[in-house]
Amino acid sequence: MPVAPLTVHRLRPPPAHLGPEGRAFWIATVRDYQIATESLLTQVQIACEALDRMSQCRRTVAEEGLTIADRHGTKLAHPLLKIEAANRAQFQSALRALRLQPGRGEK
């Protein structure tokens, strides 16, 4: 029985400004889900940008620590923790808009 030929779609390359994490997510998502419409590609881009910002925040907090001292020497939570959390929410929102739910069905 002959196998039907695979339809090969030309995948949109990731935007140039994305970092390594965002680029990897773009490539995997666009390839695996065959995303080609502008509205969905916009959501993928939003997710990728949020992922990159989360990664930047994580790296900086890893270097500088979870707390910083204010001008009086009082320890405060690192301000990037809030930015990381906001970008995590943005990433999750973009995944919901794409109707992607990572980890679903995995045990």
Cα–Cα distance, 73 to 76 (Å, whole number): 9
Instruction: Please give the pLDDT value at position 100.
Output: 82
Q: Convert the pLDDT of each residue in 79-97 to its tens digit.
A: 999 999 999 999 999 999 9
The residue among 92 and 106 whose pLDDT is bigger is 92
Say whether pLDDT at 1 is over 80.
no
Instruction: Please give the pLDDT value at position 88.
Output: 97
